Structure 1
Amino acid sequence: MRTICVVQHTNSEHLGLMEDHFENRTIRFRYVRPFTAGGALPRDGAGFDGLVLLGAAPFGVVTGELMPGMMAELRLAADFLARGKPVIGLSTGAILLAVAAGGGALDTPLQLQAGVARRTVQDALGGHLPAEMPYIQCLRDRPVLPADATVLAMGDDDAPAVFRVRGNCLGFTFHPGLKSAMLEDLIMEFDSMPDDCSVALQQLRLRQPAMAAALSEVMIGIVKITGLMADP
């Protein structure tokens, strides 16, 4: 059985709808919470088969209140990359993946918005990325992709929404398994969220069935690209 390390940055965000998809494939996940007492990051990637970096809104990578412990997390991601183990970055996690892989981050204000990721590569995720995928994006700053990255989908702002790097690593500038309860908790957890949160929350409730349907196909592609179902 494969085990992935999942790094949380807030109390509110977790794998969401992705949890069932991993469990159904007997892929275990262990949450680490470096922002809590005794919640230190692993020293390195030994003992894990992959890494998931979750979102961190409203924290930034280059603007606003910077994400606590960011340098240690970048070192952990770099260790997974050096070992050839897959890294999946969601929201802020996608920016961290880009930086760890040799790219960077672009300063952008915190935004909470609905959009559609439009596929740019026909066989993206092994043919399992839908042509259009609705999303709700809660993100400060944006990734600057390394030279070897491939953009798989673009968002409404003409910025990369899904990308692939190092062959087996994937970045999503949104959380494809986001649940309305997660966003509600995030809004309640932080006072610095945008003023129009109620609009995005309503959009999420309307889009949830379509997002869940898209995720079922996307998870097939994620597992295929990352090799998490392959024999150890």
Structure 2
Amino acid sequence: MQNELTEILNYFICKYQGTSSTVSYDSCLASMISKANILIVEGYLFELPDTIRTLTKACEEAHRSGALVAVTASDVSCIERHYDDFWDIIGNYADIVFANSDEARAFCQFSSKENPISAAQYLSHFVPFVSVTDGQRGSYIGVKGEAVYIPPSPCAPVDTCGAGDAYASGILYGILRGMSDLKGMGTLAARIAATVVGQQGTRLRVQDAVELAKSFAFRFESSNVRSDVGSDQISSL
């Protein structure tokens, strides 16, 4: 279990931070997607020319193979520049959306004064599972028009870089473990994010990942990591 959490965290936190001017869909990419449980679409990819066709094909392959599609918002200005393209992917393929409060409001075209819980509720009418973080004020998980509030996990902030990705990794870990307790899933995600915020650098130490997994082990005693994760699992939450 500890290794599973570490692998998910490392996907986010240890990924290559560079970019490419093109992302092409080929047999190699299709093969990787067909073996995945979750395809994560990074919002910044919408900035690359001709990438939308690749994203669409990748999402189609993910659904054919029974994988979930998760979309990360990335940045408000990115959403504003590519609003229609984002919604083409979100509306047609996304099972999970990760956004902070400003990004969630941008998706909904809400004013900055709108409560993030309203954005989480609104988006969950279109996407089975919505995660909206609101910094030190906590976060919300939206499902079927309702939103569950997740209190922030206490910490002494050192470096907030990577907090959103760390939070998302906790949510994905819970989904892959078949967890149906939204509050528990969000609490784990908040704990992971707080651990990352409380240190210098975005990479979660293996020892911390092990301790976090142990502290939530009782929630997963009756679950196994799924190799057949599908949209129906999220819809049933």
TM-score normalized by the length of structure 2: 0.35
TM-score normalized by the length of structure 1: 0.35
Q: Which has the higher contact order (CA 8 A, sep 6+)?
A: 1
Task: Return the structure number with greater helix share.
Answer: 2
